[in-house]
Amino acid sequence: MSPKRTTGNLPVSRPQTSVQAARADLEAFEDLMFQVLEDWGLPTDNIIVAARQRETLLRNTPSVIEDLTDAERAKAPYIAKMIMAGSVGLFDAALNYLWNETVNRLRDHVAAFDVDYFFELAEPDPARRKNLKTREDLSEIGDYQLLEAANRIKLISDVAFKQLAHINYMRNHASAAHPNIEELTGLKLAEWLETCIKEVFQLKPRNVVAEIGKLLHNVKAKRLPSDELKKAATFFDGLPQDQADNLAAGLFGIYTPANATPEVLDNVRLLWPELWPMVSEDARNEFGIKLARFSANVDLDRATRARELLDLVDGSAYLPESERVAEIQQALDALKRAHEEWNNFYEEPPAAQRLKDVVGRHGDIPAQVTRSYVVHLVYVFLTNSHGVAWNAEPTYQELIGRFDGLQAAFALRSFANSKIRLRLEDKLPREKWDELLDMIAPKLTGRRDRAFLDTVRDFNGTPDELWLDSKIKAETKRWLDRNKD
């Protein structure tokens, strides 16, 4: 009769007595099978581990699994196979069974939490991501990738991730999964079993992880009332950086599918601006990259939805470069039109703000539009000769203040543009030109650029006459030709 099972506690003496009694039988069975292998001409060296190592595994197993309930043990067939394989000395197979059980349990936890959220973090390729939807699809995610994503959403801790990653490595290099020469011991197997039970089998998400899971479930289940939205916004303030990024990825994944319901879309649209300030630059850029990949895969519905989310938070700066080029040029054209209108003092500030939003916090400008960007910005900064658009001026100063060395060098030579030269014929733009030179001077790091700045400042004529100086004109044309790409 089998020993009595008790929830959360195993009678230790009976299994230990059984192990001692069974050792002679195990050794007799081992001798018999070795004789069979020899009779059949098969090798017998390094096939199974020594009996004492098997005994070590079996002695430690009861205390390791005693925290599992009867129901949990009953659902662990691979653990039973692990012990059986270990008892006959096939430790490499035992490790393989242990890992299979661990992966199955971790997949169960992921599915119970939010499988869509997990896939959004685990699979960066949109083409592959759109085919991953259910618990069964988790088998398409590699074991290490499964661990990484589970750690990223903090289902498993950093320490657990490292321990489990090591077991995964050993499974790949010292188990029956692959040819190996690694030596496994009974104590190691028992320790790894304990780790898997503690970190995966008995996994309980931390409070913040559980709250994220609850919020994602509610977003997909119903239209959220205003009080729940306010509560969520308060919850965002306390999120660690990585969890804010993860939640943003989850909401992004909920919003972009073509089959998202109007209620789900409204929920995300209301939450997204509240969460956005907590999202890191890396995560924001990743959303732009996903948009680009949607477009590349001709997944136009998802691309449109992704663009809606970025537009909702004035996130044009995170668009893929091809789209940013068009977006920046459109903003530049709109600013130029506003600047040249009779009521530019009213039209110019919002157009300037739009350009600032498109350019983004760091002022990174695609190479294709750098020259146009600098010329347009210098053009409006010099004013329309009649007065300064005071509400737009701080924006221009800020954007010029973000110029890098190359952009500053273009600004220094912007008098080569006919519209700039024409503007510099007037008194107020000439005053603004001197101000511009002071602003860009610290940004000019190249020796030739600094020397050319001195040449421009020492010029005896007015700024619009710089282009008439043959040496200045020749040097400027050479520089612009070298930097036309």
Over range 207-216, report the average pLDDT.
84
Identify the weakest region by mean pLDDT among 40-54, 419-433, 446-460: 40-54
**pLDDT score, position 297:** 79
Residues 6+ apart with CB under 8 A from 423: 379, 382, 385, 429
Does residue 475 surpass a pLDDT of 80?
yes
- The pLDDT score that the predictor gives to residue 323 is 78
Q: Tell me what the mean pLDDT of segment 219-236 comes to.
A: 84
What is the distance between the terminal CA atoms of the chain, rounded to a whole angstrom?
Answer: 84
Q: How far apart (Å, rounded) are the C-alpha atoms in residues 379 and 423? A: 8
**What pLDDT is recorded for position 485?**
60
> What is the reported pLDDT for 7?
42
**Higher per-residue pLDDT: 128 or 428:** 428
Residue 69, judged by CB atoms within 10 A of its CB (0-12, 13-18, 19+), counts as: middle
Nearest partner of 235 among 250, 256, 214, 249, judged by Cα:
214
pLDDT per residue over 105-128, tens digit each? 999 988 888 888 888 888 877 778
Tell me the mean pLDDT in the region 267-283.
90
pLDDT for residue 353? 93
Cα 446 to its chain centre, rounded Å, is 36
At 384 the three-state DSSP class reads coil
pLDDT at 6: 42
Lowest mean pLDDT among 48-57, 173-182, 436-445: 173-182
List Cβ<8 Å contacts ≥24 apart for 114-119. Answer: 114/213, 114/216, 114/217, 114/250, 116/216, 116/220, 116/250, 116/253, 116/254, 117/153, 117/212, 117/213, 117/216, 117/246, 117/249, 117/250, 117/253, 118/149, 118/150, 118/153, 119/253
Q: Is the pLDDT of residue 340 over 90?
A: no
pLDDT band at 252 (very low <50, low <70, confident <90, very high): very high
Q: Residue 366 and residue 325: Cα distance in Å, rounded?
A: 6
Mean of the pLDDT values across residues 26-33? 72
Q: Where are the alpha helices (DSSP H) in 123-204?
A: 126-129, 143-152, 158-174, 186-196
The pLDDT > 90 percentage for the chain reads: 35
Mean pLDDT value of segment 16-31: 64
* C-alpha 131, offset from chain centre: 20
Q: Answer yes or no: is pLDDT of 132 > 90.
A: no
Residue type, 472: I
Residue 8's pLDDT is what?
46
* b/e map 251-269, b = 16+ CB within 10 Å: bbbbbbbeebeeebeebbe
pLDDT of residue 25: 67
| Residue 300 confidence class, pLDDT cut points 50, 70, 90 | confident
pLDDT in tens, 153-191: 888 888 999 999 999 988 877 655 444 545 788 899 999
Determine the average pLDDT of the residues in 438-449. 94
Inform me whether the pLDDT recorded for 393 exceeds 80. yes
Mean residue pLDDT across the chain:
85
pLDDT at 23: 62
pLDDT at 21 over 70: no
